[in-house]
Amino acid sequence: MEAARNDHWAFGAFNLDDEPTLLAVARAAKKLNAPVLVEVSHGEVGDIGLNNIRDLVDNTKAEYGIEMYVNLDHSPSVQAAKAGIEAGFEFIHIDVSQADHNASDETIIAATKEVVEYAKLTGALVESEPHYFGGSSNLHTETIDYEEIKKTFSTPDGAKAFVEETGIDTFAAAIGNLHGKYPVPKVLDLELLGRIRESLSCNISLHGGSGTPGHYFKDAVKIGVSKININSDMRIAYRTTLEKALKDDPNEYSVAKLINAHVIDAVQAVVESKIADFNSTDKATLTY
């Protein structure tokens, strides 16, 4: 993360829905020699299992010889975050506001501090933010109400106070980024991002990267963002490609064959485009 910030590139943090998604990320990382994160939310942890995720990633990165880490995204409780630390996840995002959108400042700070202390067990990097981050990892039909979203934008002073109070490694900034993909492109306040960067000594991440024009990412990494999350763009590519494959080949009942033949390539193309925007091509330094 220090190298990413100093050399002006960012880790792509790509959601892992299933093994084909993991393979798409791995193949993109291998092709472009890029270090990547794969991340799982609480729901994905429930579907796959913490230890299974750890093993899948370890096996895949060894097979492909790539630099890949695991991020526990939006962990909704201290208990869940601690389980991720114990499973060996290198990145932990504690976000109790996911379970309680109206969680108090005191509750969020106390939970974050507890996870920061527990992360010393393995050296995992802890990420957090001081309030609920809106949207969902889906294809939305409503437009973006920026006047409403601006009410929850990060501020330099607020970010600095939260980082100093909690001791986190990575601050999740809110500057117009929003979970999900919408009918209109997202607009990021890069001037605000620059002021937040100047106020912090820790890493900065951007959630809700899907549906954002690439030029914002290219500027954000120049400013000093070190991690950018992508989910919806991958899911949309996965679903639309699979729907077309099923329509084109109605007599094929092995869906896995269609996924292997068509879907993985489509998702890989999305990942490759983000890696290019994040300036992380040829930035891998570790091999397995």
Domain ranges, ordered by start, for the chain: 2-277
pLDDT at 123: 98
Cα 178 to its chain centre, rounded Å, is 12
Exactly one of 47, 58, 73, 265 is catalytic; name it.
73
pLDDT at 136: 63
- Give the model's confidence band at 132: pLDDT under 50 very low, under 70 low, under 90 confident, else very high: low
Judged by average pLDDT, the poorest of 140-144, 164-168, 232-236 is 140-144
pLDDT at 135: 62
Q: Are 187 and 217 in contact (CB under 8 A)?
A: no
CA–CA dist 217, 221 (Å, integer): 6
pLDDT at 288: 57
Q: Are strands 179-181 and 135-139 parallel, antiparallel or unpaired?
A: parallel
Q: Are 135 and 125 in contact (CB under 8 A)?
A: no
Phi, psi (deg, nearest 5) at residue 237: -60, -40
Q: Which CATH code for domain 2-277?
A: 3.20.20.70
Nearest to 242 by CA among 229, 228, 261: 261
Q: Which residues have a Cβ under 8 Å from the Cβ of 204 and sit 6 or more positions away?
A: 170, 171, 172, 173, 193, 196, 197, 224, 225, 226, 227
Task: Please say if 73 is a catalytic residue.
Answer: yes
- Give the model's confidence band at 184: pLDDT under 50 very low, under 70 low, under 90 confident, else very high: confident
Mean pLDDT of 169-191: 86
Instruction: Say what the pTM is.
Output: 0.94
Q: Are 84 and 51 in contact (CB under 8 A)?
A: no
Q: Name the one residue in this structure whose structure tokens are 């630390």.
A: 85
